[in-house]
Chains A and B, each alone.
Chain A
Amino acid sequence: MANIDGAPAVTDYLQTGWRARDWFLSTDHKRVAILYLLSITFFFFIGGLAATLIRVELLTPPSNLVSKDVFNRLFTMHGVIMVWFFLIPSIPTTIGNFVIPLMIGARDLAFPKLNLFSWYLFSAGGLFTLGAIILGGVDTGWTFYTPYSSFYAHSAVVLVILGIVVAGFGSILTGLNFIVTVHTMRAPGMGWFQLPLFIWSHYATSLILVLATPILAITLLLVGIERVWQYGIFEPSLGGDPLLFQHLFWFYSHPAVYIMVLPAMGVVSEIVPCFARKHIFGYHFIAFASLAIATYGFLVWGHHMFVSGQSPYASLIFSALSFLVAVPSAIKVFNWTATLHKGYIHLRTPMLYALGFIGLFVIGGLTGLFLASTALDVHVHDTYFVVSHFHYIMVGGAVMGYLGAIHFWWPKMSGRRYPEGWGIFAAILLFVGFNLTFFPQFLLGYGGMVRRIAEYAPGFQVLNVMSTAGASILGVGYVLPLAYLLWTLRRPPDAGPNPWFATGLEWQTSSPPPKHNFLAAPQVGEPYDYAEMPRDIPWS
């Protein structure tokens, strides 16, 4: 393949060495991104396997497929793996690692060795967690509420805690790397307001990673200490307070959900202007909204605790703040929609995922308001209503954003184009399967089905069956991209530097990029300057 100026082909990053050490000791951010891609895909399917078993078990009211104890371990491991070993790393470590230096015209991140070290930390944490699974898993719920997790659970709690803490440390270092990179390594002429919004959202995400994750680390370490030495840090009979655990845990875990969704929002901000061939509406508002979400996200943790026994006045304050944090998200949704107005819209696979994100995020986000309403939350807390709410955002939102990103940047990362027909089919299948899986769960929750139960009252069965049927469609939908994306690797890398005619510096170099990203210095301009780009995008 030729590079931009037609000069003879240069070795791209995929070709520079295939010995084990060329991959496992490479500090090239693009290779580290691929290492992460492989790891998180692996964990996604493990977490997905747990989900499959859960949904099949829930086809019938009694717990006949697996015992109740095994079921408890399944939903715990599903949560732990999906949150810490899939969602939190997903977009930042695969797409972010790959694309952020390219987007700002840099040769790599600020600390390439630290980046590789982060992957090793993630993998070590993953190994601990896999070890815990082999030892039978953990049955505390991903939220580890005390005193159950510290004094009553008979499972590999400490091992999982270690896995999460070690992996968490890796994520702190990733956030640190991104912050320093964005501050110090932008190409000449690229001020903050020339940055793509993907960078803004990853910057905001990184702030949360660096500031919130340490709280999780210390909290889980204290639970571990409590468990190993039987101290009473959170156990009332020994003077402790279980609510203190909840406050400390949710002080991290609420911002954590913004770690999971902000990157996907950044992806949508890249895809929508590209496939509407138009400048994004409200650039500054979207940029500041990302920072606002990250900031306010730290102030609302108590909305997980309205019925916990905390003071009702504290609950009211958290409720008010929780309503407030919805405003910047609403700003983004309206801006993306407005971008479509008078655009020139191509419904390609990435765009389908981006639009799917917007629709499902709106539903998920609005149900968040139901939960922020104190009196209503009393009824739906700890029911399937909450389960559905967060899956709308995490799966309908974040995973769709992730898949959209994978498809959008696949040509850049691999040099190959994916088969558009299959891409569109899988996207639609996922959208249908997702809604069939999770919409019934809102009804189940309001009707009184609590979460984390292996056996349920017979009246809930019909909706559970619908949900499982949807899940089977979802499962197919997830396997399809894995299959056809791998299949694309059989052809030569002929995508060309900019198959989408997108703006953004990453499209000014070859696909895949050479090892140090740019042969010639990229030209910095205003972001999303689609007026200067062709309107039509060639079909694959």
Chain B
Amino acid sequence: METPVEMQFDDPAQQREASALGMWTFLASEVLFFGGVFTGYSIYRWKYPHAFAEASHHLYEWIGAVNTAILLTSSLFIALAVQALHTERPRRAWRLIIATLICGLAFLSLKAVEYWMDYQEGLVPGVRFDASKFTDPAPATLFFTFYFSMTGLHAAHVISGLLVLTVIGITLRRATDPGKYANSLENGALFWHLVDIIWIFLFPLLYLIGGPK
């Protein structure tokens, strides 16, 4: 498979190596980015264990669980898409990318529904918050501040990931030699996997800390 080699690279192998290292380095920075807010959350969770557990019980676990399954499946789809492109089956790759995008949109839709329900319940600090639901409203407010910040940032990354995969997918679809874009798809898939992994940490930390209701 021939890849278009950019001017600064000597050969396709160098280009591949560079783009892979570049994506992994970027992922490292994203881990640190989310790491900051995870650290803040963990410290407050340690400080207010009961208030946080109580607040967590107000979240919709089932939506969180379904979303986890959706994201995990989407990661599977995109991994299969990469494999499809490597084994010269671009149409299959295209279908799998579509499947990933559908999962991503499903995730976002469920998230939107969940946010709406949180709003109805009065769980949005500063916007609509029913302090009377909680024994100790101040740490509960803190919990929901982190909940919306963390899931909001994550959702922004989901949207970015979907945009990136859409662009790559369309490029692939239109290309006469889709195999050229195996690298790009691999990097896009890496980013998607990161988005998935962040969610895998988010879900238990936010939704499951109180134990069963």
Contact residues of B between 136 and 161, Cβ < 8 Å to A: 138-139, 141-142, 145-146, 149
CB distance A112 to B8 under 8 Å? yes
CB distance B25 to A180 under 8 Å? yes
Look across to chain B and name the residue whose beta carbon is closest to the beta carbon of A177. Answer: B22
Please tell me if A15 contacts chain B, counting CB pairs below 8 Å. no
Number of interface residues of A (CB under 8 A): 41
Please tell me if B60 contacts chain A, counting CB pairs below 8 Å. no
Look across to chain B and name the residue whose beta carbon is closest to the beta carbon of A109. Answer: B8
Please tell me if A151 contacts chain B, counting CB pairs below 8 Å. no
**In the complex, A324 Cα to B38 Cα: how many Å?**
29
Contact residues of A between 466 and 523, Cβ < 8 Å to B: 516
Stretch from B13-21, B105-113, B166-174, B188-196 at the A interface: B13-21
Report if A248-B22 is in contact (Cβ < 8 Å); known contacts: A108-B8, A110-B8: no
Look across to chain B and name the residue whose beta carbon is closest to the beta carbon of A251. Answer: B36
* Nearest CB on A from B37, distance (A): 5
Q: Which of the residues A176, A180, A229, A248 comes within 8 Å of B125, measured between beta carbons? A: A229
* Nearest CB on B from A115, distance (A): 10
The interface residues of chain B lying within 8 Å CB-to-CB of A233 are 40, 142, 145-146
CB distance B7 to A225 under 8 Å? no
Contact with A along B34-67 (1 / 0, CB 8 A): 1111011001100110000000000000000000
Report if A244-B40 is in contact (Cβ < 8 Å); known contacts: A230-B126, A232-B145: yes
Look across to chain B and name the residue whose beta carbon is closest to the beta carbon of A216. Answer: B36
Report if A213-B29 is in contact (Cβ < 8 Å); known contacts: A218-B34, A239-B142: yes
Report if A176-B25 is in contact (Cβ < 8 Å); known contacts: A185-B18, A239-B139, A248-B39: yes
CB distance A217 to B8 under 8 Å? no
CB distance B7 to A211 under 8 Å? no
Report if A214-B39 is in contact (Cβ < 8 Å); known contacts: A110-B22, A232-B145: no
* Nearest CB on A from B198, distance (A): 13
Q: A interface, by DSSP: helix, strand, loop or mixed?
A: helix
Q: Which of the residues B36, B37, B126 comes within 8 Å of A231, measured between beta carbons? A: B126
CB distance A211 to B28 under 8 Å? yes
Please tell me if A107 contacts chain B, counting CB pairs below 8 Å. yes
Contact residues of B between 109 and 128, Cβ < 8 Å to A: 125-127
The interface residues of chain B lying within 8 Å CB-to-CB of A106 are 8
Contact with B along A219-262 (1 / 0, CB 8 A): 10010010001111100011111001000100000000000000
Look across to chain A and name the residue whose beta carbon is closest to the beta carbon of B31. Answer: A214
CB distance A176 to B37 under 8 Å? no
* Nearest CB on A from B187, distance (A): 12
CB distance B141 to A239 under 8 Å? yes
Look across to chain A and name the residue whose beta carbon is closest to the beta carbon of B37. Answer: A218
Q: Which of the residues B29, B43, B47, B126 comes within 8 Å of A214, measured between beta carbons? A: B29
CB distance A184 to B18 under 8 Å? yes
The interface residues of chain B lying within 8 Å CB-to-CB of A184 are 14, 17-18, 21
Q: Which range contains the number of B residues in contact with the other chain? A: 35 or more
Among B7, B14, B28, B29, the one with the most A-chain Cβ atoms within 10 Å of its Cβ is: B29
Look across to chain A and name the residue whose beta carbon is closest to the beta carbon of B143. Answer: A239
Please tell me if A179 contacts chain B, counting CB pairs below 8 Å. yes
Look across to chain B and name the residue whose beta carbon is closest to the beta carbon of A233. Answer: B145
**In the complex, A106 Cα to B14 Cα: how many Å?**
12
The interface residues of chain A lying within 8 Å CB-to-CB of B21 are 179-180, 183-184
Look across to chain A and name the residue whose beta carbon is closest to the beta carbon of B137. Answer: A239
Q: Which of the residues B32, B47, B146, B149 comes within 8 Å of A215, measured between beta carbons? A: B32
Number of A-B contacts (CB under 8 A): 111
CB distance A248 to B40 under 8 Å? yes
Please tell me if B30 contacts chain A, counting CB pairs below 8 Å. yes
**In the complex, A520 Cα to B25 Cα: how many Å?**
32
* Nearest CB on A from B5, distance (A): 12
The interface residues of chain A lying within 8 Å CB-to-CB of B39 are 248
The interface residues of chain B lying within 8 Å CB-to-CB of A213 are 29
Among B7, B25, B145, the one with the most A-chain Cβ atoms within 10 Å of its Cβ is: B25
CB distance A238 to B37 under 8 Å? no
CB distance B18 to A231 under 8 Å? no
CB distance A214 to B18 under 8 Å? no
Please tell me if B201 contacts chain A, counting CB pairs below 8 Å. no
The interface residues of chain A lying within 8 Å CB-to-CB of B142 are 231-233, 238-240
Q: Which of the residues B37, B43, B47, B126 comes within 8 Å of A222, measured between beta carbons? A: B37
**In the complex, A248 Cα to B36 Cα: how many Å?**
7
The interface residues of chain B lying within 8 Å CB-to-CB of A110 are 8, 18, 22
**In the complex, A163 Cα to B151 Cα: how many Å?**
23
* Nearest CB on B from A231, distance (A): 4
Please tell me if A212 contacts chain B, counting CB pairs below 8 Å. yes
**In the complex, A183 Cα to B39 Cα: how many Å?**
31
Please tell me if A210 contacts chain B, counting CB pairs below 8 Å. yes
Look across to chain B and name the residue whose beta carbon is closest to the beta carbon of A225. Answer: B149
The interface residues of chain B lying within 8 Å CB-to-CB of A111 are 18, 22
CB distance B43 to A241 under 8 Å? yes
Please tell me if A427 contacts chain B, counting CB pairs below 8 Å. no
**In the complex, A145 Cα to B139 Cα: how many Å?**
21
Please tell me if A172 contacts chain B, counting CB pairs below 8 Å. yes
CB distance B36 to A516 under 8 Å? no
Contact residues of A between 90 and 113, Cβ < 8 Å to B: 101, 106-112
Report if A231-B33 is in contact (Cβ < 8 Å); known contacts: A176-B25, A185-B14: no
CB distance B36 to A210 under 8 Å? no
* Nearest CB on A from B199, distance (A): 17
**In the complex, A109 Cα to B39 Cα: how many Å?**
34
* Nearest CB on A from B7, distance (A): 6
CB distance A211 to B29 under 8 Å? yes
The interface residues of chain A lying within 8 Å CB-to-CB of B30 are 214
What would 25 A/B residue contacts be, using CB atoms closer than 8 Å? A112-B6, A112-B7, A176-B26, A176-B29, A179-B25, A180-B21, A180-B22, A185-B8, A185-B14, A185-B18, A210-B29, A210-B32, A215-B32, A219-B36, A222-B36, A222-B40, A229-B126, A229-B127, A229-B145, A238-B138, A238-B142, A239-B48, A239-B138, A239-B139, A241-B47
Other than A211-B32, A231-B145, give 12 A-B pairs with Cβ distance below 8 A: A108-B8, A176-B26, A180-B25, A181-B18, A212-B32, A214-B33, A233-B142, A237-B138, A239-B44, A239-B141, A241-B43, A241-B47
Q: 4 tightest A-B contacts by CB?
A: A239-B138, A214-B33, A218-B36, A108-B8
